[in-house]
């Protein structure tokens, strides 16, 4: 496998290598988005609001698997770059078992407390029943959901990004088909949407277990013992990506509370649509980061600064150009995008007006997401976490707590664009110190 990432990458080769991971992450994000589309269209706006109320719990599951996936990947790919293949295999097995353990713990903690959790997250009596149903069914599939996220990273490191892509495409197709069958003909409502998502998640999760159990390549499951130093290092290196997901949970919670206060259930449905747009956009750049991370980690471990320099410039040129393009498209097509999700007049009016302002954040967030992942691959969890904390929690919380008080609903729409711009300024400082300014801390010289 090491020869597939230990080579010179032209700009086209790098993008082609990352493309499967990008598509995988986009398809993963489509699980939730497709659920939202079917729920809003065939069950109603209140059901869509219920999904968003309980989604922070699902974010916690995603956060843990993302942490072990990206943080563990940095360790595994570094071992491979150092020709320590046996250590890489043991680390792979250790992180997979750990992920399964966390998933069962989360499931056991949440299932007996569905009402308590739903009320804590902001549900009122109108939304409570749907909140309980969606959360309960989703948590039954927590092991599959978390393994799916974990194996997205590990398939790339194993030199099989195409395999992960096809598994994700198949899972996405199953999700869409079962969404339609269970929600429309079977009339299962929001429970059908959660069940369809869970069935889709089982496909890459089970196949990943089978693949790494039976593989004869460099990376496969083997006997291992838990090494606390490796576990802590993976958690530390992957903390920025975990912070991103946990912050999504907190921000979703804050948005739900604020929108309930400002405009009620229709406001929660509207912000759900806007967050779907952000979810899809961020998935694109998170996928790109996952795709290039094994290459960055390998070259960092091998000490090849020239190759690392080329990867850096190609990566961030692509991110800068594509961010401008995607932001313009999102702003121009905002009414059409909102129409896909809802035909409810009150929800549409709120979401269409908000999306034009909200989409400005796409100009800034791609650079910060990729920067955070790049530092993770370089085993610099501190800087990665600083960037992640700023863009996903610190600045957004401040914006949400301040702007709506002075600007009302407009303040809610622009909270994320303001936070992303502030984070971009912080990210620029980190690039100057670690990539541009000559000195001992420069990774590229």
pLDDT in tens, the chain (445 residues): 444 666 666 777 778 888 877 887 787 777 668 777 888 888 888 888 888 889 889 888 988 998 888 888 888 888 887 788 888 888 888 999 999 999 999 999 999 999 999 998 888 888 899 999 999 999 999 999 999 888 877 887 777 767 777 887 888 888 888 988 999 899 898 999 899 889 988 988 999 898 888 877 777 888 888 888 888 888 887 776 677 677 778 888 888 889 888 888 788 888 888 888 888 888 888 888 888 888 888 877 777 778 888 888 888 999 999 999 989 998 888 888 888 888 788 888 888 889 989 999 999 999 999 999 888 888 888 898 889 888 878 898 999 999 999 999 999 999 999 999 999 999 999 999 999 888 788 888 7
Q: At what angle do helices 265-302 and 362-377 cross, to 10 degrees?
A: 40
Q: What is the pLDDT of residue 226?
A: 85
Tokens (6 digits) for 281: 């956009």
Q: What is the pLDDT of residue 240?
A: 67
Q: How many residues does the chain have?
A: 445
Report the Cα 164 to chain-centroid distance in Å: 16
Q: At what angle do helices 265-302 and 142-157 cross, to 10 degrees?
A: 30
Q: What is the pLDDT of residue 115?
A: 93
Element (H, E) at 5: helix 2-5
Q: What is the pLDDT of residue 5?
A: 60
DSSP 141: T
Which distant-in-sequence residues (6+ apart) come within 8 Å of 178 by Cβ? 192, 195, 196, 199, 200
Show the DSSP H helices in 82-160 as ranges: 85-110, 114-120, 125-140, 142-157
Q: What is the pLDDT of residue 7?
A: 63
Closest CA to 70 of 236, 210, 213, 195: 236
Closest CA to 299 of 192, 377, 246: 377
Q: What is the pLDDT of residue 297?
A: 80
Is-contact 379 363, C-beta < 8 A? no
Burial (CB count <10 Å: 0-12, 13-18, 19+), residue 169: middle
Instruction: For residues 240 and 244, give the distance between their C-alpha atoms in angstroms, rounded to a whole number.
Output: 6
Angle at 61 between CA 88 and CA 171, to 5 degrees: 80
Q: What is the DSSP string of 35-92?
A: HHHHHHHHT-HHHHHHHHHHHHHHHHHHHHHHHHHHHHHHHHHHHHHTT-HHHHHHHH
Return phi, psi of residue 170, to 5°.
Answer: -60, -45
> By three-state DSSP, how is residue 185 classified?
coil
The percent of the chain in helix, strand and coil, each rounded to the nearest 5, is 85, 0, 15
Instruction: For residues 120 and 435, give the distance between their C-alpha atoms in angstroms, rounded to a whole number.
Output: 44
> By three-state DSSP, how is residue 238 classified?
coil
End-to-end CA distance of the chain: 27
């Amino acid at each position: 496998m090491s020869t597939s990432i230990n080579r010179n990458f032209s700009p086209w080769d790098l993008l082609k290598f990352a493309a499967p991971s990008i598509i995988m992450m986009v398809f993963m994000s489509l699980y939730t988005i497709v659920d939202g589309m079917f729920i809003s269209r065939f069950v109603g706006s209140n059901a869509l609001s219920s999904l968003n109320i309980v989604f922070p719990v699902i974010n916690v599951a995603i956060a843990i698997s993302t942490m072990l996936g990206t943080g563990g990947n940095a360790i595994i790919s570094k071992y491979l770059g150092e020709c320590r293949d046996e250590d890489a295999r043991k680390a792979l097995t250790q992180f997979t078992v750990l992920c399964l353990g966390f998933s069962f713990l989360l499931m056991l903690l949440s299932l007996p407390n569905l009402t308590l959790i739903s009320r804590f997250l902001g549900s009122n009596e109108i939304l409570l029943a749907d909140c309980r149903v969606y959360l309960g069914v989703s948590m039954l599939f927590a092991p599959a959901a978390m393994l799916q996220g974990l194996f997205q990273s590990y398939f790339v490191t194993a030199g099989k990004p195409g395999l992960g892509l096809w598994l994700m495409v198949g899972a996405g197709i199953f999700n869409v088909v079962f969404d339609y069958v269970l929600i429309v003909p079977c009339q299962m409502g929001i429970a059908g949407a959660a069940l369809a998502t869970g069935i889709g998640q089982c496909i890459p999760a089970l196949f990943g277990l089978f693949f790494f159990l039976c593989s004869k390549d460099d990376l496969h499951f083997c006997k291992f013992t838990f090494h606390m130093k490796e576990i802590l290092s993976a958690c530390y290196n992957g903390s920025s990506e975990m912070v991103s997901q946990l912050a999504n949970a907190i921000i979703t919670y804050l948005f739900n509370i604020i929108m309930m206060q400002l405009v009620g259930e229709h406001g929660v449905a509207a912000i759900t649509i806007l967050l779907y747009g952000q979810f899809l956009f961020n998935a694109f750049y998170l996928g790109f980061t996952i795709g290039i991370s094994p290459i960055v980690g390998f070259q960092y471990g091998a000490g090849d600064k020239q190759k690392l320099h080329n990867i850096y410039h190609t990566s961030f040129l692509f991110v800068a150009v594509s961010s401008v393009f995607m932001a313009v498209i999102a702003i121009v097509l905002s009414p059409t995008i909102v129409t896909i999700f809802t035909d409810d007049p009150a929800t549409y009016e709120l979401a269409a007006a908000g999306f034009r302002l909200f989409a400005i954040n796409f100009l800034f967030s791609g650079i910060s997401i990729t920067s955070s992942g790049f530092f993770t691959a370089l085993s610099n969890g501190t800087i990665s976490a600083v960037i992640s904390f700023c863009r996903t929690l610190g600045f957004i919380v401040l914006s949400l707590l301040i702007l709506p008080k002075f600007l009302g609903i407009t303040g809610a729409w622009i909270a994320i664009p303001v936070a992303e711009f502030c984070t971009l300024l912080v990210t620029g400082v980190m690039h100057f110190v670690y990539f541009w300014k000559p000195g001992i801390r420069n990774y590229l010289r």
